[in-house]
Structures are given as C-alpha cells and as structure tokens.
Structure 1
Amino acid sequence: MYMPKISGMRGFGFLTSSIGASSVGVTCAAALALPLALPAAAVPVRPAPATDRATNSVGLGAAPALAGSTRSLPLVPLTHERVHGVAPEQGLYRQGVRHFSLVGVIWDNPGTQLHGQVQVRTRSVATGKWSGWQDVETHNADHGADPGTAESTSGRVRGATAPLWVGESDGVEVRVRADTEVTTGDGRTTPTSAPLPSGLRLELVDPGAERPPAGSPADASRTGGGMDEAELSVSAVNADLAPLGAAEIQALDKKGTERELLTLRADQVSGAQQAKPYIGPRPRIVTRRGWGADEKLRERGFVYTKTVKAAFVHHTASGNKYTCSQAPSVIRGIYRYHVKSMGWRDIGYNFVVDKCGNIYEGRAGGVTKAVMGAHTLGFNSDSMGIAVIGTFNSAKPPAASVTAIAKLTAWKLGLFGANPKGKTYLKSGGGNLYPKGKNVRLNVISGHRDGYATDCPGKKLYSKLGSARSTAARYQGR
C-alpha cells in the first residue's frame, strides 16, 4: 500500500525525514506555493481501444506545443489456421500513414509472454524506400513496475515488445509469428502449440517536435518560463541544482560536489561530525524539459523509495540507428510508448544515456532523489535504472556511454553512500529469478539480467560493467 507523504523542496530525497518512516511515498513538489497534485486514482479508467490514439499537448500561457501522437492499429490474421482459436501468424501493411519514428507491438495481458517472432519494415519519409525486415525484441516482460504496486495494478498496463526506433517513416509492414518449438533449459527443443497473445496491436509513435529554445535562466527562475503546473512541479524538484525551466543541470567539479553534499548533510543533521564523502563530480544532465518531455502524458505526483542502494544498467533494445542529435526524439518516443502504449505512469528508467555519453533525466521526481522506476521487475525499490539507448547483444557499446555510466553512478550512488565496487542486498518484489521476499546479494552496479532472467543489457554492454564499477569508484576517490 502506498502511503502519501509530502516533502518540501529543500534537500535531497534520501535525507528528508518524511521518507524515513515509509518505504514508499507519493509527493508533488511544494515549492513556490504550487498547489499539491494528488496521485492518480488507484484504478484509472482504461481508454477505449481506438484505431487512432493521437494526443496533442498544448501548454498554458507561453508554453510551446509539443505535438506527438500514438496510432494503435489492430493486427489481422495472415493465415486461416487457428491455434486455440487464435491465428498463429498476424500482421498488417499500411502506406501513407501519419508520420512516425518508433514502433512496437502490444497486447492485452501484461502477464502473457509473446513466444514468437516480431518483424517490421518501414518506408522512409526522406528517401521513399522501404527498409529490410528488422527484428523487434519480444521479451519485454522483464521491465515494469513491481508486482502488487499501484502502477502494476492500475488496470492500464499491457504486454509489449521493446520499442524500435526506425526514423521518420510513412509506411509500415509487420508480421508476428508464433513459435513452433521452444528451447528447454538443457538446450533441447520441443514442439509447442502456444498461441499468440490476444489483442495484438501495432503502435506507431510520433515523438513530436523539438522544444523551441527557452529564455534566459534568470527569466525562467523568476517567471517559470511560461510553464504550466505539471512542468513547474517537475522542474521544481531539481531547483537546488538548476533554475526553474533549465534545459540542463550543469556539471560541478568534485570539490564543489563534496561541498554541496556536506552542506546539505549539515542542514539535515545538526551538530553531527562530517566525514569527507566518497562522491564523484556531478555530471551534466539534460533535464526532462531539455529533451522535451510532454508532462501531460505522465501521471501526476511522484513515487519515492527510502534510498538508492544499487544501479541496474539496461539497454533500450530500440536499435542503434540513431544520431546523437536524434537522442531527445528517441527518448520522447520511448516515454510516449511506455505511458500511452504500455500503460505505465511515466518513462520506466531513472536515467538515459546516449551513444555520445550525454546523460538525460528519466522518470520525474528529482535527479537527486530515490525515485521509484519501472526498470527491473522485482527490484525497483531502493534502486535506480540507467538505460543506454541502443541494442548491445552483438554490437559493442560506445566508450562514451560506458564512461557516462561510471560518472553518473559515481555521483548518484555517492549521494547515498554506496560504493560502486561493492555488494548490497535488495529484497525481491517477485520475478522469474528470485521469489518475492528473498534478500538477494547483488553488485551495487548490476546488469538487468542480475535481477531477472533476461538478455538485457545485452552481452556486450554487460561485459563492460566491471570497467564501469572500477572507474566509478575512482571518480569517488576510493
């Protein structure tokens, strides 16, 4: 059960007394006399299955419009054959559709896995040519809110593949085929007649346009930069680090970061002796406003846990065919897919990293706070999720991305006193690797597969985590 707790703006979330009494709290920033936003209802009304779910958001006052859309198209049988009443091959072909840049396939029951192959090909707006067939990662059940939480039991959550970034397109063809055999744990294959999940739909996501450049930080800090209430609440929880409406949180050197943390600790624990903290320099972080998050998409309010004891590293499995200048669009697409298509309250990851090493704020609630994500099913409490944009099963992750993981974890884990090279215990919330309630010993910097039986974050990225741990510890001064 989630107990609502309201905490003020001053200080980092792990030091506020309001969080210490409960593992989870729901809060909205109370700074600047903003009206408090109540959490969404426990069981929101599920939207009717419309053929076209387009959402355009228009800010109040001077806030710019961030038009984006999600078009949801039901798949149709491609064969007369039926397995338990369901066609084992489904798909569709469409030309001349509203422009989109990211695709995925969803289905009704989030507890049902898609045992099969999903492939898409798309037509480029720029060239008018069709791509080759591309595989879409089907095993996405390992991401999501922990069982029994308000987010997982909202009634809006759906099963889904990973999203795939395809670039601006105006035509699509998709085919979904059920497996005819499965591989058992000992490596043998056996025939299967498992049907495809019910309610298969293709999601075509337009991430929307880039946000126009904001005014000066000084003006934004005084006026809110024309932001509406939802935008102000997201920006306000980072007000200790950047002005309201800022597109980025600037980097801070190690001494400045240490002074910042020691000052905060002195404020929170009066008269306590202060030891020199192990913490890495604060890295530059692009805020949600900086990558153009439409704050009207997510649920209102923020959800926190007690602390951050571990970081789980992921890949987005959205492909590697993007440029660094496109990264904000990719993140907007993933955000929209997580919320509008999969039914989550916000983007699942706490932070996102691109191939150039840029770090982006993920789920709303404050970059210094213990924000509960939906990244590692069963281990979202007292942890954070970092996703590198790309697919790294066979492709090597860029060195800049691995360095960014080290910089981010050295700083964020340092806020909570965690050693990047150390071990910690997390209690499982339930999953396919560890039963609910089991205390599991994990690396402080773990891969997604350490908490759930999955390929994520890909073999090549997973192999770089040892380097990230050592580098992060060095940044902390250990």
Structure 2
Amino acid sequence: MRARLGTLLPPVLALGLASTAVLGVRLDDAGSITSAPPDVARAVPAVARAAPGVRGIQTPITADLREHGGATGVLRPGRFSQVAVTWHGTAPAVRVSTHTAGAWTPWRTIETLDDLDLNEGDGTRGTDLLPVGTSDAVRVRVSGGHARELKVVTIDPGPNRVADATDPIALAAGTPTDGASPVATSASATPASIADPLPSPPAYTPPSHYAPQPYLYSRADWGADETLRKNPPEYNQVMMQIHVHHTASTNSYTRADVPRLIRGMYWYHTQSLGWNDIGYNYLIDRFGRLWKGRYGQGRNAPVRGAHTLGFNYESVGVSMIGNFETANPSTYAVSMLVKFAAWKADYWRMKPTGYRLVTSEGSDKYAAGTQVRLPVIDGHRNTNDTACPGRYLYAKLPDIRKRVQTRVDNY
C-alpha cells in the first residue's frame, strides 16, 4: 500500500534534526507583522517532515484560520523559501503574499500543478511550487472550486554549497557565469556572480552511431535524499515522445540556487503530493545544465515519470526551470534542450520532426482510450489543459524540432 502523505502524520516528524519538538505556526493579525514579530497569538496544527538539508511544513487551513474573502491570517511556519497549497477535490484559485526581506510582497497567483500520473499519490492536488526568497510568514487567499483538506506547504530546501579555498569549483564547459545575462528579456534580472556549486564534467566520447549524451548532473549533485522515494521506479516498454515542461517558477535564480530548487520540488512531490519521486525525468536550468530528475537504473532506462497525465506510459519528460509564460528561455537552456532531445530521440529511434499516434490513458484534455496524433517533441499543453511550457518556450518548439533533427542527422 502506498503511503498517504496528505493525511496527518504524528504532530511532528523531524528526521535529521538534533531534537524533535512540536512545531507551532503562528496566526496573527494580517497587518501586524514587523521586523520584530509579536508574541504568539495561538498555535496552529502543522505537519513537519525534515530530510537532510530540507525542512517542510504542511499547515492545514481549518475553518478558524479563514478570514473574510477566503484569506488566512498570518501563518508563521519558520524560515522558508518555497510555498504551495494542496487540497482534495476541484482546484480553487490560490493567491499568496509572503513576508520576505522584512516586507510583505504583493499578492501573487499560483497556478495549479498539472504534472501528475494516475498511478501515484492519494488524490492530493496542488499548486506549482513558488520560490519566494527567504521568508518568515505567509498569507493565503483561496476562492472558487470545491476544495477540501486544504494545506499550506512551506519548504526550506537548505543552504547552498559555498566554495572555499579547499573546495575548488570550476564552471561546467560551455556554460555562462551568473553575470552573463543568459535570459534575453527585461523581465528577468541577472543575479550577482557567485561560485558554481558543482565540478566540471569529465570528457564524454559517444558511440559513433548515436547523438551523444550531454553531461548529466546526478541526483547526488542536487542532494537527493533517497529515503524520500516511495515505491521502486516503474519502467516503460517503449519511448515514443519527449514532453517539454517548465516549472513555472522564478527566472532569476543563480547557479548555486539550482540544487535547492530541485530539492524543494522533490520534497513537495513526494511528501505533499504523495508521488513516488520527483515527477520529471530530467530538468534543465537557465545556465544550460542538464539534471537527472526521477530515479532509475541505467543511462537510457525508460523510467516512467509523473509529468504528463495520460501520456506518461510511452514518454520521457524534461522540465526547463523557469517561467516561460512571462519570459524567453535562455539560449543556453534551449541549446541543452536540443542536445538532450537529440540524445533521447536518436537512442529510441524517434523522428524529431515527426508525429506519433498515441492513446491517452485519461487526461483533462483527452479521455481514456482516445487516440491522438501528437508531435514527437511536444509541449505539455498538447496533452493537457495547461499553459505549460509557457507561451515563449512553446513558440520555439518548431525551431527546436528542426535543430534536433539536424543534430541527429549529423551523427
């Protein structure tokens, strides 16, 4: 039987912490927070689960937390930098405001997460996981839908790794520094320069008859706690498609932020949504680095992901870290997507510019048993009612398919 993560665990389950204590979440007047928070008004039941370097809190939104307009009061779960809301039932509209760097942020809408699989979880649904910077309080507004068992999820994914004189860090070959402005849009800020947290990849010599595998950063590189995984990985019999996603998160992260972002997604997918593992098979950051997502043995193992409802059984899912509904992906990220898709398409003998007739297992767009003609390399919106992978990235897919085909033809 799969573990049900949406239900309450013991009051606090803290793994990897020096001690175990009941963690309360404060509820105060929404306008009262200052740099010196007031005394606790009352405690709110919360569920905490900590993995090495990661601390997550799930706070039930009970009737006594609701204020007029569906908003909660101020919730104080301790330090966090990622936030989401989960529920059972139909999706509500969710907006959040966080107390970040000493001030309240404007209210922001968090979209519903559409990356899922029928075979995993306990029916818990949720929003995208929103990076918010280091914060100490959150307010939530929920409206519409028929949601029950609502919870606010706040995650502290742990510290960045910082290089020092005894830990020399080099840039991966062909990728930019933080000061390189890889995202060509005024909507994305360029972060301050910091050291890369990972070593340079070794040289790779591919077989002559396949497009080469790009360098792949491992789960250990981003700090996966393998005890959070649920059931053993499932494997597909065939790979016919490459589904392209975005994480709908920030576009202004630094190189050293990436492992933390992935650790937070992993915790959220497994501990809040109850999935077996992180949903994506692979992820690509804005610096053009490829990261292994879902666990599975073998370089080309056809691991079944939880990324494209109704179409996970014959595909691989890759997610670009960022929000490409509001900004263009970087040239480095797009170049890596081309290399990744060429590697997978050539190995599984897919035609990058071609189409496949596939049968839906049941999605919000195509009922179970429906046969659909889809591009071999498609966007999430081709299979589900979602904006993913964002309009700017989706508009680039025709050119990406051509570039992938050219790369495959040259090997």
1:196/1:282 CA distance change after superposition, 3 Å: same
Maintained 8 Å contact 2:6/2:272:
no
Please give the secondary structure, in 2, of the residue aligned with 1:373: coil
Correspondence for 1:354 among 285, 289, 314:
285
Mapping 1:277-426, distance limit 5 Å: 277=209, 279-366=210-297, 367-426=299-358
Residues 1:201 and 1:44: Cα distance change in structure 2 (over 3 Å): closer
Please tell me the residue identity of whatever aligns with 1:99: R
Question: d(CA) in 2 for partners of 1:419 and 1:476?
Answer: 9
Question: For residues 54 and 323 of structure 1, what CA distance do their matches in structure 2 show?
Answer: 31
Q: Secondary structure at the match of 1:381?
A: helix
Say if 1:52 and 1:160 are closer, same or farther in 2 by CA, change over 3 A: farther
Find 1:133's aligned residue among 86, 107, 117.
107
Give the drift of 1:315. Answer: 0.8
**1:463 counterpart SS class:** helix
User: Could you list the runs of 5+ residues in structure 2 that have no partner in the other structure?
Assistant: 18-50, 168-197
Which runs of 5 or more residues in structure 1 are unaligned? 1-41, 59-64, 82-87, 179-194, 217-245, 260-276
Work out the CA distance in 1 between the residues paired with 2:10 and 2:252: 28
Whether contact under 8 Å (1:74, 1:201) holds in the other structure is: yes
- One-letter amino acid matched to 1:102: Q
1:204 aligns with 2:204: no
1:104 corresponds to: 84
Alignment partners' CA distance in 2, 1:56 and 1:399: 40
> What is the TM-score when the length of structure 1 is the normalising length?
0.66
Q: Does the aligned pair in 1 maintain the 2:4–2:274 contact within 8 Å?
A: no
Which residue in 2 is equivalent to 1:122?
A: 98
Does the 8 A contact of 1:68 with 1:207 survive in 2?
yes
- Contact 1:79–1:90 (8 Å) recurs in 2: yes
Distance (Å, rounded) in 1 between the aligned partners of 2:401 and 2:277: 28
Query: AA paired with 1:144?
Result: L
Q: Is the partner of 1:296 in helix, strand or coil?
A: helix
Q: Is the 8 A contact 1:71 1:205 kept in 2?
A: yes
| Number of equivalences | 343
Aligned partners of 1:56, 1:248: CA distance in 2, in Å?
Answer: 32
Query: Residues 61-96 of structure 1, C-alpha deviation per residue, up to 9 Å, x if partnerless?
Result: xxxx82312101122457678xxxxxx71423134x
CA contact (8 A) 1:247 1:289 kept: no
Cα contact 1:52–1:70 (8 A) shared by 2: no
Q: Deviations over 1:253-282 (max 9, x none)?
A: xxx3124xxxxxxxxxxxxxxxxx3x3222
Distance 1:248 1:331, change over 3 A: farther
Change (3 A) 1:314 1:47: closer
With over 3 angstroms needed to count, the CA separation of the structure-2 counterparts of 1:163 and 1:251, relative to structure 1, is: farther
User: Does 2:176 match 1:176?
Assistant: no
* One-letter code aligned to 1:453: D
Question: Hey, what does 2:54 align to over in structure 1?
Answer: 68
| Structure-2 residue corresponding to 1:257 | 206
Cα pair distance change 1:102/1:248, threshold 3 Å: farther
Question: Could you tell me whether the CA contact under 8 Å between 2:310 and 2:360 is conserved in 1?
Answer: yes
The equivalent residue for 2:382 is: 450
| Structure-2-length-normalised TM-score | 0.76
User: Are 2:128 and 1:162 aligned?
Assistant: yes
Contact 2:6 2:273 in 1 (8 A): no
RMSD (Å) for aligned C-alpha atoms: 2.7
**Alpha-carbon contact 1:414-1:476 (below 8 Å) kept:** yes
Amino acid at match of 1:310: Q
